[in-house]
Amino acid sequence: MNARTMAQTFRSFDGTERATGRAARPERRSDLAAAVGSDASFIARGAGLSYCAASMGDGVLSVDMTRLNRVLAFDPVTGEITVEPGLSVGVLTELLAERGRWLPPLPGYPSISVGGCVAFDTHGKSQLHSGTFGDWVIRLTLLHPAHGELECSRSEHADLFGLTVGGMGLTGLITSVTLKTEPLPGSALEIEVVPVSSLYEAPACMSEAAPGVACLYSWHDLTRPGRELGPGIVFLERFVTARPASRRRPLLDVATRAPLGLWSRLFTTLALYGYRATQSPGRRRVLPLMQALFPIYGLEIYYFAFGRRGLREYQVIVPHERWRQFLDDLRPLLVSARIPITLASLKLFSGSAHHLRFNGTGVCLALDVPAVPAARALFGALDELAHRHGARINLSKDSRVEQETCRRLFPGYDTFTSELRAFDPARRCRSRLRERLGV
């Protein structure tokens, strides 16, 4: 075991939060109890790719789980697989593909850990088709100094299972996860590009196409919000059996940032125009499995260009019946904000809201902007818009939401808080995120 701990300064993936705590890096599951055996506060840390400060806190022990990355069991008949929480979803995908299986709700980058996916109940490119990560968790084991190691599922310690999936790592250290998987439908993905005139049109186009594809999502250009709002592209993906060209390789670490931010309004306009020009209407191309499943892999320069000031992301699920009115109210906010929207994307969601998880039924909108002062004002206005339309925001993507906003936007806030405090009254599990949300 690596029993030593060392002082370390951590930074959130979006670059806007920092904390100075201690770090430990256990080698085996048997080392975990010793790592958190003192009375100090602790939190699990996976790949460190949370946009917010979910795995760090001032004076907190961040337990690096990345060496706990083993496959513990695999059933070739049912496809069930049990893994340690530090295993990355990229390695997991490659291991499953070799066995003719896959796990559909994959986040956008292969380095993200299985434990991190459970902690935030992440979703993939097409939540409508695959649900969220928690839907694929059969059971998990959880270690907390006051309770020992507990096996949790929907039938055993069910309340704790529901508190841990999407619980932001605040119930303890996940020590193993058992997942169901599906037969892999093909060796590559064929991507079809369908143009849409605006954010208003895209959801209907996506809903119509959904039954005939494996994944779908959209991209939109919001550099001119005063005109047609968000002309863009819907991507339709289908599994095929093919041998595509070799996949692209990353030139940068995804956490590397330029010394200065590049995403000015002019640069954004030119970059998005260039991107759209490369997407021909009706075009179909075949991508290697890993590149298609993890679209950010190989495009790390996008994050590099935000520089050390960082970025901010706003992700919200708007009920279908409120979508058009939501956009009517969104347009003047974008016009008055006058900051570059470097990314605008839609997904369709279908699910039930629980506690503070990012789930529900409706249209999911994601917006990226540079972390300039005007971004906080814009996102604050978006919070009011979300509250007005009964929308739900993604706490894992947003490093500025505080207690009162969280309580207003999440009807399950008080229930989650009371259950968490009952399980962890000494607040042994602590992070900057927990302090900010007041849970």
* pLDDT classification of 2: cutoffs 50, 70, 90: very low
Rounded mean pLDDT, 107-121: 96
Nearest to 291 by CA among 71, 94, 117: 94
What is residue 1's predicted lDDT score, i.e. its pLDDT?
40
Q: Are 71-183 and 188-401 equal in CATH topology?
A: no
Domain at 71-183, CATH from 3.30.465.10, 3.30.70.1170, 3.40.630.150, 3.50.50.60: 3.30.465.10
Residues 6+ apart with CB under 8 A from 64: 23, 24, 25, 26, 45
Nearest to 26 by CA among 17, 15, 37: 37
Report how far residue 60's alpha carbon sits from residue 41's, in angstroms, rounded to the nearest whole number: 5
Q: What are the tens digits of pLDDT across the range 76-86?
A: 999 999 999 99
Q: What are the tens digits of pLDDT across the range 356-388?
A: 999 999 999 999 999 999 999 999 999 999 999
Distance of CA 262 to the CA centre of its chain: 24
Query: Domain 188-401, what fold?
Result: Alpha-Beta Plaits (3.30.70)
Q: What are the tens digits of pLDDT across the range 290-326?
A: 889 998 888 899 999 999 999 999 999 999 999 999 9
* pLDDT classification of 245: cutoffs 50, 70, 90: low
Report how far residue 278's alpha carbon sits from residue 221's, in angstroms, rounded to the nearest whole number: 14
Nearest to 41 by CA among 172, 132, 163: 172
Give the Cβ contact number of residue 411 at 10 Å: 12
Report how far residue 395's alpha carbon sits from residue 242's, in angstroms, rounded to the nearest whole number: 38
Q: What are the tens digits of pLDDT across the range 148-168?
A: 999 999 999 999 999 999 999
Give the DSSP letter of residue 13: T
What is residue 226's predicted lDDT score, i.e. its pLDDT?
73
Give the DSSP letter of residue 421: H
What is residue 211's predicted lDDT score, i.e. its pLDDT?
97
What is residue 145's predicted lDDT score, i.e. its pLDDT?
95
Rounded mean pLDDT, 407-417: 97
Mode of pairing for the β-strands spanning 188-196 and 232-240 = antiparallel
* pLDDT classification of 142: cutoffs 50, 70, 90: very high
Nearest to 235 by CA among 93, 123, 102, 346: 346
- Could you tell me the residue ranges of all domains in the chain? 71-183, 188-401
pTM of the model: 0.95
* pLDDT classification of 6: cutoffs 50, 70, 90: confident
pLDDT at 247 exceeding the cut of 60 = yes
Q: For the chain, count helices (H), then strands (E).
A: 14, 19
Q: What are the tens digits of pLDDT across the range 168-219?
A: 999 999 999 999 999 999 999 999 999 999 999 999 999 999 999 999 999 9
Residue with tokens 């009011």: 384
Q: What is the mean pLDDT of the chain?
A: 94
What is residue 8's predicted lDDT score, i.e. its pLDDT?
93
3-state secondary structure labels for all residues of 37-61: CCCCCEEEECCCCCCCCCCCCCCCE
Nearest to 412 by CA among 363, 333, 362, 356: 356
What is residue 280's predicted lDDT score, i.e. its pLDDT?
79
CB 361 within 8 A of CB 349: yes
* pLDDT classification of 244: cutoffs 50, 70, 90: low
